[in-house]
Amino acid sequence: MSATALEPTVTRARSDFWPKFRRNRNAVAGSIIVSFVVLVAIFARLIAPYEYDETDILFTWAHPSAEHPLGTDALGRDILSRLIVGAQVSLTVAFAVLGITLTIGIMMGMIAGYFGGRLDAAIMRTVDIIFAFPDIIFAILLASVMGPGIITVIVSLSVVWWPGVARLTRSLVLQLRTELYVDAAIASGTPPFTILLRHFLPNIVAPLIVRASIGVGFIIMAEATLSFLGIGVQEPRPSWGGMIRDGIVSLRTEPYLALSASTALGLTIIGFNLFGDGLRDILDPRIKDR
Amino acid sequence: MTALLEVSNLTKDFPVGADFLGRPHAQLRAVDDVSFALAPGETLGFVGESGCGKTTVGRLVLKLLAPTAGTIRFEGVDITSLSEPEMRPRRRDLQVVFQDPYSSLNPRLMVRDIVGEPLRNFGFARDQIDRRVAELMRIVGLPPEYMSRYPHAFSGGQRQRIGIARALAVSPKLVVCDEAVSALDVSIQAQILNLLADIQAQFGLALLFISHNLGVVRHVSHR
Ligand SMILES: Nc1ncnc2c1ncn2[C@@H]1O[C@H](COP(=O)(O)OP(=O)(O)OP(=O)(O)O)[C@@H](O)[C@H]1O
Ligand SMILES: [Mg+2]
């Protein structure tokens, strides 16, 4: 250890995030789509040319025109306006489910992985049971108890989504558990929950962010499926899943409703997946092949 | 004079393999009936070939593992029967320096927070912590300005010094050094050993010095 060998570089491990981000096509394309959809959702009521529930019985199934750029539906409501307000529904559900599942999943996964023993066994058996249950069946069961609606969708998707987060968190915690700085922290008298927050969370957050951004796409798809089945958001509030269902009935003659809702759904999901894939390459090259 | 640390008939078995119900196939005896005592301010060298259970003894003494049998008395108190919350206040007197200078420092924390961690746990205020960390940096031979850097900016020998600073932070009575120099170049080993010997002479702490290298142990130990 000579004085010359010591001059350490002061770069922080992740100061190269933005240059890498800009060079990653997936991340850039994904973030453009995602920010577009998020902005549309936030300002939906300002952007939408018509009220989403404004019917016009004399003007049903109108084809696209200057007045109605995407045409109208069976009740003469403007499809573009309903699509825009539908983005709000999709994203509200997605972010609510994400918030709930990340909180519960990370907490459960960290407790299971760190403390081990019976606590671990209890949490992981619960996770296994939920995994064994088909998601949609669970949502239908729940809807029959709670009645359909946005809350039912959020609750049922949260119940089926936290176990995945918990499993990932647990496996990440188990990997870190053998690091000596964890033992050093215990030996220094650091209490367990401080250890989890200070030594584990910052070191597992990257793969969790990646997981979350890819998860958004799946959650939006699941919400659309539930609304398609009639369990989700109820009329007159629009949802992309519900619009696809209504559109399919007359797909042959009046394709604009189903087509525009499917396109919005598909683009949004692709956007979040590209964004998540890009983040994964940037933040966590190790889990690339998983 | 009573012993600072008194280990009697310490035994540790590890379960090996597991059937489908999670029951182990067999037990591997890593530590078999070990007894020793260590007086305050004394250095005890703990030598043995690789895999003979030295690290395990160190981890048992630190209560990072629970023994299968035997007792560990620290300042006359049997710590093997203490729960972790009961143990925590005593950890102030019982610190550790690990073998691997890479894994023993959290890459996401600044040196200030790494060395300051024991101080935070034992109720030092923010400004006291910074002053103490700067002092510790000088003691272990690092410029105090380096405390706002992250571990990756340091060499192995420097990291080991940071680990030693952390162990000294709350002025413990006993430091367990598990192969504290084995991962380092020979020339750096000598520097770190001299540092440990100086610190011990200066602060009068006891060292449990674990190594597979008799020469290294001779360099520091009284017995
Ligand atoms: N957590 C564990 N689970 C199972 N077996 C273990 C565990 N820790 C240690 N062992 C086993 O116990 C024995 C003693 O290990 P230990 O690490 O204490 O040896 P050591 O003397 O420190 O060796 P080295 O000089 O290589 O560091 C080894 O055979 C090891 O495989
Ligand atoms: Mg060892």
> Residue B182 sits in a domain of what CATH number?
3.40.50.300
- Residue B23 falls inside a structural domain: no
> Mean pLDDT throughout A122-147?
88
**C-alpha span between B4 and B43 (Å, rounded):** 11
What is the length of chain A?
A: 290
Supply the pLDDT for residue A3: 39
Whether residue B63 is found in the same domain as residue B84: yes
Asked if residue A103 belongs to a domain, the reply is yes
Whether B56 and B40 share a structural domain: yes
One domain for residues B83 and B176: yes
Residue nearest to atom 3 of ligand 1 (CA): B14
Question: Which residue in the set A8, A180, A185 is minimally distant from B117, CB to CB?
Answer: A185
Q: Which residues pair with B8 in a beta bridge?
A: B71
Using the atom order of ligand 1, give the atom closest to the CA of residue B58: 18
Question: Would you tell me the crossing angle of helices A240-249 and A201-228 to the nearest 10 degrees?
Answer: 30
Least trusted range by pLDDT, from A65-69, A206-210, B156-160, B182-186: B182-186
Residue A72 lies in a domain: no
B222 and B143: one domain?
Answer: no
Q: For residues B75 and B7, state if they share a domain.
A: yes
- Report whether B7 contacts B70 (CB < 8 A): yes
Specify the pLDDT at position B179. 83
Query: What is the layout of strands, in order, in the sheet containing B77-78?
Result: B26-38, B5-16, B69-74, B77-78
Instruction: Give chain A's largest Cα–Cα span.
Output: 87
Residue B9 and residue B33 in contact, taking contact as beta carbons nearer than 8 Å: yes
Examine the domain organization and report whether B177 and B159 are in the same domain: no
Do B66 and B107 reside in the same domain of the chain? Answer: no
* Residue A122 is assigned to a structural domain of this protein: yes
- In tens, the pLDDT along A71-109 reads 889 888 999 999 999 999 999 999 999 999 999 999 999
Chain A partners of B94 at a C-beta cutoff of 8 Å?
187
Q: Which residue of A has its CA nearest to B154?
A: A8
- Whether pLDDT at A10 is above 90: no
**pLDDT tens digit sequence for B11-23:** 999 988 766 666 6
Pocket mutation for ligand 1, best pick of B12, B25, B54 (most atoms within 8 Å of C-beta): B54
What tens digit of pLDDT does each residue of A220-252 get? 999 999 999 888 888 889 999 999 999 998 888
Beta strands at B206-211 and B43-47: parallel, antiparallel or unpaired: parallel
Same domain, B107 and B67: no
Residue B211 φ then ψ, to 5°: -160, 155
Domain count of the fold of chain B: 2
Q: What's the whole-model pTM score?
A: 0.86
Mean pLDDT of the region B145-157: 92
Contact B166 A198 (CB under 8 A): no
B135 and B85 housed in the same domain: no
Q: What are the residues whose beta carbons fall under 8 Å from the beta carbon of B43, sequence distance 6 or more? A: B200, B206, B207, B209, B220, B221, B222, B223
Residue A189: domain span = 3-38+86-283
Query: Contact B174/B41 with Cβ under 8 angstroms?
Result: no
Residue ranges making up the domain that contains B184: 1-15+28-93+172-223
Question: Could you tell me the pLDDT band of residue A1, with boundaries at 50, 70 and 90?
Answer: very low
Q: Is residue A251 part of a domain?
A: yes
Same domain, B88 and B177: yes
Residue A68 resides in a domain = no
pLDDT exceeds cutoff 50 at B197: yes
**Whole-Å CA distances, A176 to A44, A59, B1, B139, B178:** 44, 63, 42, 31, 20
Whether this model's ipTM surpasses 0.90 comes out as yes
Q: Which pLDDT score is estimated for A86?
A: 93
* Number of domains making up chain A: 1
Give the residue among A74, A76, A82, A75 at the shortest CA–CA distance from A49: A82
Per-residue confidence (pLDDT) for residue B211, from 0 to 100: 87
Evaluate whether A106 touches A59 at the Cβ level (below 8 Å). no
- My answer on whether B58 and B165 are in the same domain is no
Asked if residue A197 has pLDDT above 70, the reply is yes
Q: SS3 helix, strand, coil % of chain B, rounded to 5?
A: 40, 25, 35
| Chain B residues lying within 8 Å of A202, measured CB to CB | 108
**Residues belonging to chain B:** 223
Q: Which residues line ligand 1 (CB under 6 A)?
A: B 14, 28, 30, 48, 50-56, 212
Q: Which pLDDT score is estimated for A9?
A: 40
Is residue B22 domain-resident?
A: no
